[in-house]
Chain A
Amino acid sequence: MAEVGFWGGYAWPALLIALKVLAIVLPLLLIVAYVTLAERKVMAAMQLRVGPNVVGPLGVWQSFADALKMVFKETILPTGANRVVFLAAPALMFTLAMIGWAVIPFDDGLVLSDINVGVLYLFAISSLGVYGIIMAGWASNSRYAFLGALRSAAQMVSYEVSAGFVIITVLLAVGSLNLSDIVEAQRDLWLVIPLFPMFVIFFVSALAETNRHPFDLPEAESELVAGYQVEYSALTFGLFFIGEYANMCLMSALTTILFLGGWLAPFDVAPFTWIPGIVWFALKIALCLFVFVWVRATLPRYRYDQLMRLGWKVFLPISLFWVALTAVVLVVFDWLPQT
């Protein structure tokens, strides 16, 4: 092996990777800021209100004002809280929400790390998200927080099962665990068309895994005050908040990649293909996020036993059946992807 110098071999590549990471994380944080604003605006429109309109023209600086307020408030450590775990929980939540983006392909070849097990990596990261919540709930030394954490743990584990089966169905149809390959396989037909029921199940599971309406029982305001985050203030709360919205974006991105053809244009003809892939990708994510908000403004919260029933008795059998059905159809018609 040729001898590589310190700069050429290690320092420059490391610096380049750090720059790439910054190029993903900084726009992501900006997008998260505007997703919160967009949510408030869209919900306001659905409820015939105006929404935030004071800070800046049409309220565009609202999220920055909120962020500034959050930074300058006091971080309160509750008495009897387990300090290390209490402070580690929001940091963990935020980190997990960020590192998932390492494998997301934004455009053809525009990906930080094009690993072979991309889908599994994302699945692993999203399944780790529950630790932030459990640790927060336990370390807060508060009844409400603990109840919220317990609910969340059971909920996320339950819905992961059906989400896993949906992912297996997609993998059967595509024949690869690489996210870029999954997108490329949808050039002729987006998977949302043949696998529409799976798409619905995946999206609902995504709602449940991100603790969003109508499955926001871990932080149900009307009964648990704010659930696991009730004792958090200032920046520690801010990290949870950013983490939650970044997770929403990540789940939307995953839905887009698995079912809506990622960066591909809806039709492979001239006027659509002029628009760069990253724009299509962003548009599709925006569409998914809009549905997230739409659901929040429309549906009432599920009762906890109904939530469990839906996960285990409805989604699990349906998704299991579809895995078997997809496998049979692929084998019978000889449509199995050749690798």
Chain B
Amino acid sequence: MIVQAIAFYAFAAVTLAAAVMVIAARNPVHSVLFLILAFFNSAGLMVLLGAEFLAMILVIVYVGAVAVLFLFVVMMLDINFAELRQGFLQYLPIGGVIGLVLLAELLLLLGSDAIGSIAPAVASSAPTPPINEVTNTAALGELLYTRYVYLFQAAGIVLLIAMVGAIVLTLRQRVGVRKQSVGKQLRRRREAAVELKKVVPRGGV
């Protein structure tokens, strides 16, 4: 248990430090790199909890895909963070209030779970399979694709709509762009492309 405890405190400490550095770093690229470090250490915390499937998905989706695109954009843009931070003190109170509200909500949720006012209802509606018998990939799959299948599909549709929206917003038809059309190239026949000309000497083509 000591090893787990040490690992937990190491992961948690690095996550917190990295999260602070995300907003404290002067260079935006460093901020994104710290964000990635925070993601990665949260994945470590999930492994310690026994949720290895979620940990791997976190790394694959957030670190492997989302953060790459994030980094991509931040590197291309020339953001001056010092300018952005001008109004930091001005916005501090409202940001602090939002943070406090979120913290209070979290505490309420955890507290109610400990007291047991909501917990039995949740437990009876979604039986968690015993952790020793089923791998948590199988356990998640069994719940997601049976009991919560409609919610799961609804989440998928929301993502699909977001994707279609993003494409519609950014798609623009440019005229005069010479694009390669592979189908057209493959359809081209020798007869249409090559022509044998009889050239008269000194006459030119």
Contacts and interface: CB of A to CB of B under 8 A. Distances in A.
A232 B66 CA distance: 28
Contacts of A323: none
B68 A134 contact: yes
B30 to A, nearest CB: 8
Contacts of A309: 182
A121 B57 CA distance: 9
Contact of A177 (B59, B63, B76, B137): B137
A123 B60 contact: yes
Taking residues whose C-beta sits less than 8 angstroms from the other chain, chain B's interface range is 20 to 34
Given A124-B56, A127-B65, A160-B64, A116 B75 contact: no
Interface residues of A, number: 30
A79 interface: no
B64 A305 contact: no
Contact of A117 (B33, B36, B53, B72): B53
A222 interface: no
Contacts of B3: 10
Contacts of B182: 309
Nearest to B57: A120
Given A124-B64, A138-B75, A150-B72, A116 B59 contact: no
A185 interface: no
Contacts of B64: 123-124, 127-128, 130, 157, 160
A134 B56 contact: no
Interface in B50-84: 52-53, 56-57, 59-60, 63-65, 68-69, 71-72, 75-76
Interface string A88-131: 00000000000000000000000000011100110110011011
For A124, A128, A309, the residue with the greatest tally of chain B CB atoms inside 10 Å of its CB is: A124
Interface string A44-63: 00000000000000000000
Given A115-B52, A117-B56, A127-B60, A157 B68 contact: yes
A277 to B, nearest CB: 25
Interface of A: prevailing SS: helix
A85 interface: yes
B137 A127 contact: no
A109 B179 CA distance: 53
Nearest to B59: A124
Contacts of B27: 82
A337 to B, nearest CB: 12
For B63, B68, B69, B137, the residue with the greatest tally of chain A CB atoms inside 10 Å of its CB is: B68
B135 interface: yes
A123 B36 CA distance: 17
A161 B59 CA distance: 15
B138 interface: yes
A135 interface: yes
B29 interface: yes
B173 interface: no
B59 A117 contact: no
A339 interface: yes
A138 B29 contact: yes
A235 interface: no
A81 to B, nearest CB: 13
A154 B2 CA distance: 42
Nearest to B69: A157
Interface string B158-195: 00000000000000000000001010000000000000
Interface of A: 10, 82, 85, 115-117, 120-121, 123-124, 127-128, 130-131, 134-135, 138, 146, 150, 153-154, 156-157, 160, 164, 177, 305-306, 309, 339
Q: Which 4 A-B pairs have the closest CB atoms?
A: A127-B64, A120-B56, A124-B59, A116-B135
24 contacts: A10-B3, A85-B30, A115-B52, A117-B137, A120-B53, A120-B60, A123-B64, A124-B60, A124-B63, A127-B65, A128-B64, A134-B71, A134-B72, A135-B33, A138-B75, A153-B68, A154-B72, A156-B68, A157-B64, A160-B64, A160-B65, A177-B135, A309-B182, A339-B138
Interface of B: 2-3, 27, 29-30, 33, 36, 52-53, 56-57, 59-60, 63-65, 68-69, 71-72, 75-76, 135, 137-138, 180, 182
Given A153-B72, A157-B65, A157-B68, 6 more contacts: A116-B135, A127-B59, A134-B72, A150-B75, A160-B64, A177-B135
